[in-house]
Structures are given as structure tokens and as C-alpha cells.
């Protein structure tokens, strides 16, 4: 076949698959036609040319064929994608900026969503976790909303209920473990033998408890938690069978748990009730008032929580009647229950939902910005688009092309966002751990990826559709316009203005949220903890036996002096208050007020065991906010440490920096008795610092989001203003040529920008009003409508926005009128 | 982009192609030759109309295409009528007959 024919054909048709086929088909046809022509008597040259000519216009032919094949959506999509990629590559500045803002927005959302999903939404990792409930006994009249359970009560509930498939008990104690390199302080959960079966947990190694392990006098056994096994025994696969000594008994390891969140607290190991010295004591078992355990249960398949509550409450009622001594009327004794899922997620819910909303708003801001950027670029591309329309592209086709470009941008932003999220998730997990044990379940998994995909696509649609739909029906006039300055449709300008207004409003809401949290945090830090925490080191020292306490605190004679707790009445403990002297106690101000009102309680006596032993009150001290700076001080009673045996926290006020002194103090304690185990050494200041860690971190996160929002908004405002100025260059030039001063030009431009900002602020105020009441649970001593915060935020935002307007406005004044008039 | 031939003519071309393929599967060149021969040279289908029509018919599922070798051992794309295509052919033939009868009537009217 003639070479030049082949070559010309190849250059005419682009070589992709369908086109290749077309080419082959046409080639065949041409060959046949040429042969026919030869047969008719033409010479070879003529034959060829006639054949070619019979095809008509080649371009037209190609276009027609392609048009027919238009319905191959995948091919056109691929074309669009390639074209879009090329467009993005040609505008690196825009692409980079857009990808950056989008990835920050999408990444933040993915990260927070992973947390929300892992903690709040995902079903519990226990088998049929929806059936698991937590029981709780309460004495609301004695202001005690967690009374725990005694052995007698657990037996009653277990035996008499009709709605619960199984019931297990749990309590947690600290013991000293021997058998390792040094005595180790461990936290052990003491559970009934059916505990793991009830939760539906299968061991990673070994076995779980059998009912024989719980029998009185059975050999003591241990099951290790996953974290402890990895941490202290390096994941030793031969750990099962090892024997440790604890509480003067040998304990054999029989199994290791899989990695699961532990409720209600993290424990190093688990043991059956028969292995706990306190729990297995005869007197303890017989005493209905010895309440120490928590109770979990699994509902029967057909039962609801309400039915279980009614059933168990009936049993509680009957217990009250049968044992009136154990349930005096002034307790207001009652039973309540909640699903395990609710218990695990309640604390975390408000904070994380607020964070999720915040992240969502930031993403909206990023979308608005990108939409604005796209609109700006669109105006410059009008000629290109008009050309394509003239060549035959329908409006739908062009919209599809633009949408593909923007979708591409959004997806790239999504990919980068996922990377950002993965990087930041570890920080978030640490943060979440303060609110719920489920934090360990958080991981960037497929659900998060799916979420990212959906969000990216939605983002692309949101900021892509708006500009795309703003394409005019008839683009051809822009081709005719001689000037490169296309007339901006009023609609498009209004759209950009509306976007800026929305951005300002959303930023305002976010800033208010962050501002409120910040004020709340300051208030928290100002709260007087009741003691002077400077340079005090705290260590927990335990002798080889830890006793169960009834909310009493054991304090050495020097405690109050060490922490400089003010003595309000009576005297402090002295060395003389030892085991042989009369039993004494000190109480805090709150307890004094509750029990004795305005009377001085010094000299009065109280008893814990119905008159068998009496303790005299010798002094009253100030309140310590033991359980957190944001909680009311509870009733506190102090006993001298020599009048009981037990563990205590050793507080040492040091002259030098506490951290330096710590090792020396450790040696001193070991010197007294090598069986003393020491742990939790930290400064009191640090303890206090930690106690407000959660609100501090929340504030940091919200603050970050708000700062990001402000940045995006400022950039958005500046961008719109700059564009407006550049488009009105001509007009400004005329004004200046006609004698307008620089100031008046500045004023004109600023007025335009500030109108938008003020509108945005107004909207923002309305929005913030509606939304901030939702975060009132997170705030401390600050109202959601706190006027100071609102005023400061409004001023700050107005200032930033004005600055953002000012810079381009100032550039307007520098326009040289001659060049402006000449500019096209 | 406006089409330069009327829909009427386009529909007619489709019908002729389908009719040609109903008798025998053939390639594009064959179709154009057959139409020319059968109409005694009156209907001369130009390639610029033929191939778009073939591709359109293929898109609509009335014909299918398959590569094969021709009489002189060259690779060519052969088209075949489908069952749906046959039904379409019957429909279009009926329409055409109705139309041409009506036109005839109008022309005969005095």
C-alpha cells in the first residue's frame, strides 16, 4: 500500500484505540475504492486522489464519527480528566493554593471523623455489645450516685431476676507483684468467673476463668491484659504457666487477653474473686453494707433496658424491705442502669460532636474559598471556553469539563488530606483517651477512607457546580469583544460577594466558639485549688498490703503543713495521734458545713460502724478540690496514718527542684523497707496541670480551627477585593484622571469590601447565637452569650477583615491613570 | 452543531443500510457498493455519511460489528443485523411505505 497514503492517514487520525479501528476501516474502504477506480481505467494517481476526495472533508468526517461515538462515557471522561490535569498543571499557583486549603479542610474532617466513628458510632468490640448493661446503685439523698454493690446484693440480683441472661461483678485494686526484677505495683481487676464469657471475650493465649477458679480455697490464677503483657513482659509467648507472688500467695498466669478497651478502667491483670484477700473474707461476704463492686450484665435476647430496670428495681425494693438496717430511709436507695455503650461514650460525646461541627465548618470555608478562586479563573478563561463552544461543544459538555477539573482538584486535596489525617491521628487518640477507654479503638480504617472519598466528591461538587453553572448560555459574544476585559456578569459578582459574606459569618461562629473555650480555660486556671502546689513532690508509697477505704483519707501529721492547707479550727494531727491514742479525725470545711451547719464540730464524735467505734473530730481545714478544679469540693475526712495501716501518698515539699530530688527520695523510702513499692512520682503542680488537660486540649484544637478559619477568610476577602480592583482599573483610571483623590478611591473600594464584611458579621452573630448554646456543656463559668468574648471576637474579625480589604484598596490608589486608561 | 442533512434523509439511509445487511453481512465498502448497484447507480452513498450512519446503528444495537478477512485476504470490519435491528427495519419500512404513499397521493391530486 502506498506509503504516503498510510502516513497521511496516520497523521489525520489520532492513534487511540477507537480511532485506530476507524482508520483501519477507512483504509480498507479506500483501498477497495482505489482498486475500483483502477478497474474503471483511471491511472494510479488519479485513482488514489478520487478515492480520497470521495471521503469529503476529513476533519468533518472525524468529528462526525466521533460525535456518533459520543456515547462512550468512559472515553470522554478520560479525555476530560487528562485535559483537566493539564489545566491544573499550567496554573501551579492556583492549584497549590486550592489543594492546600482543601486538604487541610478534608484532612481535619477525616481525622475528627475517625475519632467520632471509633468512639461514638462503631459498635462495641464485644460480642453483641448492644445487650451489655452497667448496673448502678445510688443513694441520691446522701448525694452519692455510685454506691457500688455488696456480695449479698449481687447474689440477690443474680438469683431473683428474670430479664438478665448473666451478671458479673468487677472491682479494681492495686497490689504489689513479686517475681519480677523488682517489686511491681500493678492494678488488678477482681472479677467473677463468668466475666469474660459475659463480655464475649476470647483469650489471645491460654484460657479464661472457669467456675472452679472462683471456688473458696482454689489456687490463685491470673489473666494478663494485652497492654501489660506487651509492656512488662515484652509479649513473651511462654508467659502462660509462670507463677508470681502476690498477697503472700502464688498466682499462676493462665491466659492473656486480646487488645480490647477495658471498662471501667485500665487494668494490668484480672483475677477471680477468690484470689482477692478483701473480697474473699468471710466477714466481707456476709456484710451487706460492704459495697465495693461494680456490676455488668447481659440482657436476655428479648428484653429491653426498660424491662430490666423495672425487674431489677423490684428486687431492690424487696431488699429494702427485707433488710431495713442496710437501707435506712435517708439514703433514698435506688437502682439504675445504662447500656455499656452509653457509659463509654457519654463523656466524649459533647466535645467530639462540637469538634466535628467545627471541622465541617472549616471545610465549608475552604470550599467557599476554592469556589471563589475558580470563579476568578473562570473569568479569565472565558475566551478559551467561548472558542470551544464555537467549535461545537455544548454547554453541558463544558460544564462537565469544568466539573471534572474541580473534582480532580478535590480528589487530590482528599488524598493529601488523608495523609495529614493519618499523621495527626495519634495526637487525637491521646486526646480522646482522656474521655473514654474506647480511644484505643480509633484507627484510620476503611470507613474513614470512605468518608474522605464522599467528602472529597461532595466538596468538588459544591465548589465546582457553582462556577460551572454560572456559565452564560451564549459565550460567543466574549469572542467578539476586542478587549481582554470581559464584562463581568452581575450575577457572578453577586455570587462572589455572597461567598465572602458566608465566609465571614462562618469564621465569626468558629471564633466565638474558640473564644468562649479560651475564657472558660482561664476561669478554670484561676480556680483556687485550696492548697499551694509549688514545689511539692507526690509519691505513692505502699506497704505490702492495700486496704479498702470508705472515702477516708489517711494523712500523716505533717500533711497539712506540707501542702499548706489552712487550719480553720481546732488542731492538726501530731505524732501523739498513734495507734494507742484515742481515735481522732480532721474534716474539711464542706463536710463541717453539711453536717453541723454553723456549729463548730471540734470535739464532736462520729462513727462509721454503727457505734462500735467512735472517732473524735479535732480540727477543721480548708477545702481541697480533690476531684478536679471544675467540681464542687466533696466532704472529706482525714485520719492520721498511724491510726490505721495502709497506703498513702507521700508528699514532700522540696527546697530544690522537685524533679531533681526524686531519686534521692526513692532511695530513702527503699531504705526504710525494700518491700515498699513506689510509683506515680510527680510534682503536685503537674497533677494540677493534668487535671485541666482536657479542656486545655479542646481549647487548643478549637483555637487551631478558628485560626485556620480566620486565615482562609482573610485570604478570601483579599482575593475578591484584589480582583474587583483589577477589574475596575479602567474605571478607577477615569476617576483619577477626572480629579478624584487617592483618598476617595480608597474610600470607594473599602466601602465595597466593608459592606460585605458587615453583612457577614451580622449573619455570623445570628448564627453564633443559634449554635453556641450547643456547646454550653463544654464551658466552665462562662455563658455562651458572654458579652466580653463576643465583643472581642467581633472587633478582632473586623480588624482582620479590614486589613484584608485595605491592602488591595491601597494598591488601587497607586494606579497610574494613564496606564489604567490604556489598559485593555 | 447543526446537521446539514435532514432527519428524513438520515432515517432513509439507516433503513437502506439495514435492508442491505438483512440480506447478508458485509463491510462498509460492500454496503456502499450494494446500494449503488441495487439502485442502478441512482443512490450514491458518500463515505462521509455512510460510516457515521454505521457507527450510529451500532451504538443503538441494531447492528453488530466484527473484524474478519475479506475475499482478497484483507482485514475488514463486517457488520451484521441483530434481531432488534430486524424489528427496526420492519418498522422503518412500514413508515417509509406509508410516507411515500401519502406523498404520491398528494402529487396525484388534481
Asked if A392's CB is within 8 angstroms of B48's CB, the reply is no
Using the predicted structure, report yes or no on whether residue A56 has a pLDDT greater than 70.
no
Domain membership of residue B57 (yes or no) is yes
pLDDT tens readout for residues A220-233: 999 999 989 988 88
**What ipTM is given for this predicted complex?**
0.84
Q: Which of B4, B17, B48 to mutate to test the interface with A (most CBs of A within 10 A)?
A: B48
A597 with A718, same domain: the answer is no
Nearest-angstrom CA–CA distance, A506 and A512: 10
Q: Which residues of A115-137 are buried (b: 16+ CB within 10 A; e: fewer)?
A: bbbbbbebebbbeebebbbbbbb
Contact of A75 with chain B, judged by CB distance below 8 Å, is answered with no
DSSP category for residue A293: B
Percentage, residues of chain A above pLDDT 70: 77
- A567-to-A343, A583, A626, B91, B100 alpha-carbon distances in Å: 39, 19, 17, 107, 117
- A469-to-A65, A375, A465, A473, A719 alpha-carbon distances in Å: 29, 10, 6, 10, 21
Residue with the bigger pLDDT between A221 and A119: it is A221
pLDDT tens readout for residues A681-693: 566 666 666 666 7
- In this prediction, residues A64-68 reach a mean pLDDT of 69
Residue B76 lies in domain? 7-108
> What is the per-residue pLDDT for A443?
77
Using the predicted structure, report yes or no on whether residue A404 has a pLDDT greater than 60.
yes
Name beta bridge partners: A185: A176
Asked if residues A637 and A509 have their Cβ atoms less than 8 Å apart, the reply is no
Domain count, chain B: 1
Non-local CB neighbours of A253 within 8 Å, separated by 6+ positions: A206, A221, A222, A223, A224, A239, A240, A241, A242, A243, A244
Local confidence pLDDT in tens for the 110 residues of chain B: 334 444 556 678 889 999 999 999 999 889 999 998 888 888 888 777 888 888 888 888 899 999 888 888 888 899 999 999 999 999 999 988 998 899 999 999 86
Asked if B48's CB is within 8 angstroms of A61's CB, the reply is yes
A508 with A560, same domain: the answer is no
Domain membership of residue B1 (yes or no) is no
Q: Which of the four pLDDT bands, split at 50, 70 and 90, describes residue A545?
A: very low
Residue with the bigger pLDDT between A507 and A58: it is A507
Q: B32 vs chain A: nearest CA distance in angstroms?
A: 10
- A295-to-A129, A195, A337 alpha-carbon distances in Å: 15, 10, 10
End residue of a domain, out of A17, A36, A71 = A71
Nearest to B46 among A22, A54, A71 (CB): A54
A202 with A61, same domain: the answer is no
- In this prediction, residues A37-53 reach a mean pLDDT of 84
Kindly list the residues from chain A whose CB atom is less than 8 angstroms away from the CB atom of residue B76: 25, 28
Non-local CB neighbours of A385 within 8 Å, separated by 6+ positions: A378, A398, A471, A475
> What is the per-residue pLDDT for A543?
43
A297 with A358, same domain: the answer is no
Quote the crossing angle between the two packed helices A729-737 and A742-772, to the nearest 10°. 140
Using the predicted structure, report yes or no on whether residue A548 has a pLDDT greater than 60.
no
Lowest mean pLDDT among A100-104, A193-197, A396-400, A673-677: A673-677
Asked if B27's CB is within 8 angstroms of A28's CB, the reply is yes
Tell the residue number behind the cell numbers 465495693, with chain if given. A292
Asked if residues A169 and A297 have their Cβ atoms less than 8 Å apart, the reply is no
Q: Which of the four pLDDT bands, split at 50, 70 and 90, describes residue A157?
A: very high
Q: Which of the four pLDDT bands, split at 50, 70 and 90, describes residue A243?
A: very high
A156 with A296, same domain: the answer is yes
Nearest to B48 among A21, A28, A60 (CB): A60
> What is the per-residue pLDDT for B16?
92
Half-sphere exposure of A354 (CA within 13 A, CB side): 28
Nearest-angstrom CA–CA distance, B55 and B35: 18
- In this prediction, residues A264-292 reach a mean pLDDT of 86
Q: Which of the four pLDDT bands, split at 50, 70 and 90, describes residue A252?
A: very high
Asked if B75's CB is within 8 angstroms of A24's CB, the reply is yes
A193 with A279, same domain: the answer is yes
Using the predicted structure, report yes or no on whether residue A632 has a pLDDT greater than 90.
no
Residue A543 lies in domain? 536-685
Domain membership of residue B80 (yes or no) is yes
Is the N-terminal amide bond of A23 cis, ω within 30° of 0? Answer: no
Q: Which residues of B75-84 are buried (b: 16+ CB within 10 A; e: fewer)?
A: ebbbbebbee
Asked if residues A539 and A623 have their Cβ atoms less than 8 Å apart, the reply is no
Residues of chain B with a CB closer than 8 angstroms to some CB in chain A: 1, 27-29, 32, 46-48, 51-52, 55-56, 59, 70, 74-77
Contact of A32 with chain B, judged by CB distance below 8 Å, is answered with yes
Give the length of chain B: 110
Nearest-angstrom CA–CA distance, A672 and A585: 27
pLDDT tens readout for residues A285-323: 888 888 888 999 999 988 889 999 999 999 999 998 898
> What is the per-residue pLDDT for A484?
44
End residue of a domain, out of A685, A720, A755 = A685
Q: Which of the four pLDDT bands, split at 50, 70 and 90, describes residue A647?
A: very low
A677 with A608, same domain: the answer is yes
DSSP category for residue B66: E
Domain membership of residue B46 (yes or no) is yes
pLDDT tens readout for residues A571-600: 777 766 766 677 777 777 777 777 777 777
Work out the mean pLDDT of chain A and round it to a whole number. Answer: 78
Asked if residues A799 and A716 have their Cβ atoms less than 8 Å apart, the reply is no
pLDDT tens readout for residues A444-489: 778 888 888 888 888 888 888 877 777 666 565 556 554 444 455 6
Asked if B52's CB is within 8 angstroms of A64's CB, the reply is yes
All three cell numbers of A822, joined, read 490604556
A48 with A27, same domain: the answer is yes
Domain membership of residue A142 (yes or no) is no
Q: Which of the four pLDDT bands, split at 50, 70 and 90, describes residue A611?
A: low
Domain membership of residue A107 (yes or no) is no
Non-local CB neighbours of A727 within 8 Å, separated by 6+ positions: A485, A488
Domain membership of residue A812 (yes or no) is yes
Nearest to A56 among B28, B48, B76 (CB): B48
Q: Which of B29, B35, B44 to mutate to test the interface with A (most CBs of A within 10 A)?
A: B29
Domain membership of residue A118 (yes or no) is no
SS3 A244: strand
A611 with A628, same domain: the answer is yes
A398 with A515, same domain: the answer is yes
Q: Which of the four pLDDT bands, split at 50, 70 and 90, describes residue A379?
A: confident
CATH of residue B95: 1.10.10.10
Prediction pTM value: 0.64
Domain count, chain A: 4
Contact of A40 with chain B, judged by CB distance below 8 Å, is answered with no
> What is the per-residue pLDDT for B31?
92
> What is the per-residue pLDDT for A665?
66
Q: B77 vs chain A: nearest CA distance in angstroms?
A: 6
- A344-to-A309, A435, A696 alpha-carbon distances in Å: 19, 9, 22
Percentage, residues of chain A above pLDDT 90: 10
What phi and psi values does residue A640 have, to the nearest 5 degrees?
A: -70, 140
Using the predicted structure, report yes or no on whether residue A547 has a pLDDT greater than 60.
no
Residue with the bigger pLDDT between A57 and A481: it is A57
End-to-end CA distance of chain B: give it in Å, rounded. 41
A366 with A305, same domain: the answer is no
End residue of a domain, out of A39, A71, A103 = A71
Amino acid at each position: 500500500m502506498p506509503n504516503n497514503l498510510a502516513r497521511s492517514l496516520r497523521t489525520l487520525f489520532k492513534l487511540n484505540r477507537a480511532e485506530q479501528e476507524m482508520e483501519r476501516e477507512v483504509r480498507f474502504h479506500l483501498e477497495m475504492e482505489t482498486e475500483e477506480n483502477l478497474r474503471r481505467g483511471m491511472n494510479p494517481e488519479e485513482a488514489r486522489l478520487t478515492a480520497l476526495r470521495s471521503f469529503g472533508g476529513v476533519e468533518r468526517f472525524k468529528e462526525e464519527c466521533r460525535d456518533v461515538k459520543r456515547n462512550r462515557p468512559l472515553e470522554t471522561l478520560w479525555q476530560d480528566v487528562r485535559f483537566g490535569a493539564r489545566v491544573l498543571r499550567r496554573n501551579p499557583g492556583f492549584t497549590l493554593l486550592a489543594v492546600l486549603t482543601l486538604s487541610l479542610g478534608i484532612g481535619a474532617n477525616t481525622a475528627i471523623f475517625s475519632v467520632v466513628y471509633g468512639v461514638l458510632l462503631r459498635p462495641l468490640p464485644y460480642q453483641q455489645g448492644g445487650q451489655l448493661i452497667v448496673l448502678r446503685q445510688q443513694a441520691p439523698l446522701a448525694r452519692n450516685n455510685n454506691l457500688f454493690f455488696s456480695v449479698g446484693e449481687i447474689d440477690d440480683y443474680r438469683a431473683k431476676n428474670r430479664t438478665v441472661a448473666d451478671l458479673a461483678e468487677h472491682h479494681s485494686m492495686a497490689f504489689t507483684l513479686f517475681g519480677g526484677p523488682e517489686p511491681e505495683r500493678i492494678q488488678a481487676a477482681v472479677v467473677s468467673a463468668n466475666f469474660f464469657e459475659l463480655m464475649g471475650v476470647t483469650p489471645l493465649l491460654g484460657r479464661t476463668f472457669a467456675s472452679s477458679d472462683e471456688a473458696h480455697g482454689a489456687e490463685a490464677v491470673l489473666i494478663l491484659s494485652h497492654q501489660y503483657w506487651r509492656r512488662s513482659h515484652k509479649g513473651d509467648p511462654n508467659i502462660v504457666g509462670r507463677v508470681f507472688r502476690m498477697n503472700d500467695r502464688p498466682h499462676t498466669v493462665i491466659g492473656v487477653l486480646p487488645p480490647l478497651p477495658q471498662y471501667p478502667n485500665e487494668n494490668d491483670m484480672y483475677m477471680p474473686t477468690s484470689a482477692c484477700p478483701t473480697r474473699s473474707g468471710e466477714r466481707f461476704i456476709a456484710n451487706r453494707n460492704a459495697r465495693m463492686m461494680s456490676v455488668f450484665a447481659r440482657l436476655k435476647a428479648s428484653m429491653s433496658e426498660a424491662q430490666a430496670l423495672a425487674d431489677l428495681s423490684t428486687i431492690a425494693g424487696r431488699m429494702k424491705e427485707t433488710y431495713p438496717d442496710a437501707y435506712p430511709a435517708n439514703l433514698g436507695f435506688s437502682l439504675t442502669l445504662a447500656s455499656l455503650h452509653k457509659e463509654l461514650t457519654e463523656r466524649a460525646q459533647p466535645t467530639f460532636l462540637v469538634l466535628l461541627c467545627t471541622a465541617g465548618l472549616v471545610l465549608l470555608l475552604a470550599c467557599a474559598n476554592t469556589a471563589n478562586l475558580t470563579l476568578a479563573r473562570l473569568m479569565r478563561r472565558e475566551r478559551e471556553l467561548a472558542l470551544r463552544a464555537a467549535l461545537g461543544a455544548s454547554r453541558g459538555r463544558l460544564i462537565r469539563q469544568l466539573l471534572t477539573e474541580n473534582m480532580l482538584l478535590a480528589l487530590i486535596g482528599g488524598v493529601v488530606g488523608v495523609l495529614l489525617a493519618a499523621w495527626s491521628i495519634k495526637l487525637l487518640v491521646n486526646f480522646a483517651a482522656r474521655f473514654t477507654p474506647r480511644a484505643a479503638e480509633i484507627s484510620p480504617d476503611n470507613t474513614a477512607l470512605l468518608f474522605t472519598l464522599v467528602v472529597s466528591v461532595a466538596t468538588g461538587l459544591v465548589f465546582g457546580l457553582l462556577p460551572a453553572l454560572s456559565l452564560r448560555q451564549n459565550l460567543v459574544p466574549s469572542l467578539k469583544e476586542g478587549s481582554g476585559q470581559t464584562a463581568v456578569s452581575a450575577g457572578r459578582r453577586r455570587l462572589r460577594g455572597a461567598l465572602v459574606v458566608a465566609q465571614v459569618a462562618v469564621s465569626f461562629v468558629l471564633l466565638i466558639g474558640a473564644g468562649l473555650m479560651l475564657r472558660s480555660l482561664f476561669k478554670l486556671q484561676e480556680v483556687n485549688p485550696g492548697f499551694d502546689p509549688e514545689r511539692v513532690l507526690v509519691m505513692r508509697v505502699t506497704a505490702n498490703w492495700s486496704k479498702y477505704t470508705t472515702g477516708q483519707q489517711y494523712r500523716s501529721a505533717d500533711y497539712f503543713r506540707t501542702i499548706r492547707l489552712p487550719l480553720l479550727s481546732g488542731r492538726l494531727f501530731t505524732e501523739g495521734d498513734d495507734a494507742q491514742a484515742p481515735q481522732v479525725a480532721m474534716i474539711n470545711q464542706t463536710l463541717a458545713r453539711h453536717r453541723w451547719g454553723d456549729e463548730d464540730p471540734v470535739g464532736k464524735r462520729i462513727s462509721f460502724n454503727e457505734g462500735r467505734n467512735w472517732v473524735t473530730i479535732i480540727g477543721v481545714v480548708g477545702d481541697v478540690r480533690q476531684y478536679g478544679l471544675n467540681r464542687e469540693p466533696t466532704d472529706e475526712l482525714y485520719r492520721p496514718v498511724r491510726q490505721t495501716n495502709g497506703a498513702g501518698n507521700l508528699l514532700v515539699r522540696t527546697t530544690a527542684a522537685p524533679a531533681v530530688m526524686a531519686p534521692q527520695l526513692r532511695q530513702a523510702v527503699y531504705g526504710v523497707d525494700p518491700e515498699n513499692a513506689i510509683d506515680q512520682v510527680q510534682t503536685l503542680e503537674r497533677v494540677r496541670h493534668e487535671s485541666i488537660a482536657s479542656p486545655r486540649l479542646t481549647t487548643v484544637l478549637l483555637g487551631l480551627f478558628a485560626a485556620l478559619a480566620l486565615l482562609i477568610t482573610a485570604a478570601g476577602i483579599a482575593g475578591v477585593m484584589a480582583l474587583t480592583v483589577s477589574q475596575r482599573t479602567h474605571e478607577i483610571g477615569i476617576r483619577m484622571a477626572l480629579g478624584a483623590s487617592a483618598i476617595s478611591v480608597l474610600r470607594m473600594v473599602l466601602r465595597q469590601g466593608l459592606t460585605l464584611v458587615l453583612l457577614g458579621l451580622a449573619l455570623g452573630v445570628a448564627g453564633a447565637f443559634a449554635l453556641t448554646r450547643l456547646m454550653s456543656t463544654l464551658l466552665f463559668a462562662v455563658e455562651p452569650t458572654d458579652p466580653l468574648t463576643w465583643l472581642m471576637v467581633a472587633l478582632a474579625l473586623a480588624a482582620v477583615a479590614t486589613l484584608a480589604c485595605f491592602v488591595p484598596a491601597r494598591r488601587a490608589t497607586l494606579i497610574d491613570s494613564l496606564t489604567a486608561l490604556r489598559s485593555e | 452543531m447543526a446537521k446539514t442533512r435532514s432527519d428524513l434523509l438520515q432515517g432513509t439511509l439507516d433503513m437502506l443500510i439495514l435492508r442491505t445487511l438483512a440480506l447478508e453481512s458485509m463491510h462498509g465498502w460492500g454496503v456502499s457498493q450494494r446500494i449503488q448497484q441495487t439502485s442502478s447507480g441512482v443512490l450514491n452513498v458518500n463515505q462521509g455519511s455512510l460510516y457515521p450512519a454505521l457507527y450510529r446503528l451500532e451504538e443503538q444495537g441494531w447492528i453488530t460489528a466484527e473484524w474478519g478477512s475479506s475475499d482478497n485476504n484483507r482485514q475488514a470490519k463486517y457488520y451484521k443485523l441483530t434481531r432488534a435491528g430486524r424489528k427496526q427495519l420492519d418498522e422503518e419500512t412500514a413508515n417509509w411505505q406509508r410516507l411515500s404513499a401519502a406523498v404520491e397521493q398528494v402529487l396525484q391530486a388534481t
